[in-house]
Amino acid sequence: MSNLQHKETRVYTLLTTLVICGLAGSLITGTKVVHFGVNFPFSNIIFSIFTYPIVDCICELWGKQTARQTLWLALFSQLLIASLIQLSIAAPAPAFWHLQEAYQTVLSVSGKVIIASLIAFSISQLIDIVIYQRIKELTQGKWLWLRSNFATFLGQAIDSLIFVMIVFYDSEQKFTILFGSITVKILLSFLMTPIVYLIVITVNNYLHANTHAFKNETSVAYIS
């Protein structure tokens, strides 16, 4: 394997790791509602920084098949992490360890949250990848900001709708939480646009413009 291939593997692994960490973090923080002008799950912050923008970067750099590969790896990792957490809670504790209740309260993830997270993220990300790639084809590789923002906005709105309606279905505040969730995700996604540009340009420079994106298009198109 050439040095370039080694470097490309390291970069892809790093970006995929960020997506996996984002999903793992959102799994634990999904039921924590915070208030910053609007009410929304804290996991929205993690999603908006570590999942959708990073998957868009992977789609931009290596294509939709690689982005889908990252999606399935992340979903498998999330399911594995959730299973390990539940297993640790169910494991018998010795009599002298008095933190079982606190441990269970903090780390326990309901089946509803796990199912909602898996369904919402998988459906919304698949839509995000398809829309992203379609806009890229229609614009002939130009306007990275347009496809990144539009695909992410749509994907995150669908994710919020599915997740909130499942997890907070019985809550009287579900529509308030849904509004806050979509609002915060759109705002953070917009703020992440420069980061998406930075990652795409930095990776291509690091790999000497040898990614899928720059093998098929000129570098000028990606800074338009």
Q: Where residue 219 falls among pLDDT bands split at 50, 70, 90?
A: very low
Whole-angstrom distance, CA of residue 16 vs CA of residue 59: 11
Question: Is pLDDT of 217 > 50?
Answer: no
| CATH code at 3-85+107-223 | 1.10.1760
pTM exceeds 0.85: no
The domain spans of the chain are 3-85+107-223
Per-residue pLDDT at 34: 85
**Helical spans, DSSP H, in the chain:** 3-29, 43-50, 52-62, 64-90, 100-107, 111-138, 144-167, 174-191, 193-206, 212-216
Burial (CB count within 10 angstroms: exposed 0-12, middle 13-18, buried 19+), residue 98: exposed
CB-based contacts of 122: which residues, under 8 Å, 6+ apart? Answer: 71, 75
Q: pLDDT for 104-138, tens place per residue?
A: 877 776 667 778 878 888 888 888 888 888 888 88
Q: pLDDT for 150-182, tens place per residue?
A: 888 888 888 888 888 887 888 888 888 888 888
